[in-house]
């Protein structure tokens, strides 16, 4: 079975800097009142102060893309347990959820959007 290869164009798409438009699209797709991450910054905050922080925010996630290194703070994740039912005596009655840094979540979603456009071209059709 022949393998589909990543074309030069698709490779360029994956490796180029994030555009401001890509970042803004991700922010528009997010809900404003979603639980903030361990950094305490919610999407509502980012959206409210976007005109002030957008260049620094964009530079931060592009630095991650260009150098492949996450800011140490972005790596922190807080796992909390949310009760599923009123009987809290059994661990199975809790649902774990993770609170990640908001900047990390935006960068991950921009990368995901890039991959979604390319992965179908790499999957063998038969």
| pLDDT in the model for residue 126 | 63
Which pair of structure tokens corresponds to residue 17?
């800097």
| pLDDT in the model for residue 10 | 83
Count the neighbouring beta carbons within 10 Å of the beta carbon of residue 65: 16
| Residues 6+ away with beta carbon under 8 Å from 7 | 121
Write out residues in the chain with pLDDT < 70, as ranges.
Answer: 1-3, 32-35, 124-126
Count Cβ atoms within 10 A of the Cβ of residue 103 and give its class: 0-12 exposed, 13-18 middle, 19 or more buried. buried
| Residues 6+ away with beta carbon under 8 Å from 24 | 50, 54
| pLDDT in the model for residue 51 | 96
Would the pTM count as exceeding 0.85? no
């Amino acid at each position: 079975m022949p393998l589909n290869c990543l074309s030069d164009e698709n490779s360029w798409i994956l490796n180029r800097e994030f555009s401001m438009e890509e970042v803004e699209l991700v922010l528009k797709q997010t809900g404003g009142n979603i639980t903030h991450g361990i950094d305490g910054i919610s999407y509502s905050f980012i959206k409210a102060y976007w005109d002030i922080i957008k260049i620094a925010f964009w530079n931060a996630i592009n630095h991650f893309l260009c150098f492949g290194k996450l800011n140490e703070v972005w790596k922190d994740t807080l796992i909390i347990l949310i009760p599923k039912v009123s009987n809290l005596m059994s661990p199975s009655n809790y649902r774990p959820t993770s609170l990640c840094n908001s900047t990390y979540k935006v960068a991950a979603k921009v990368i995901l959007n890039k991959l979604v456009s390319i992965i179908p071209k790499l999957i063998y059709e038969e």
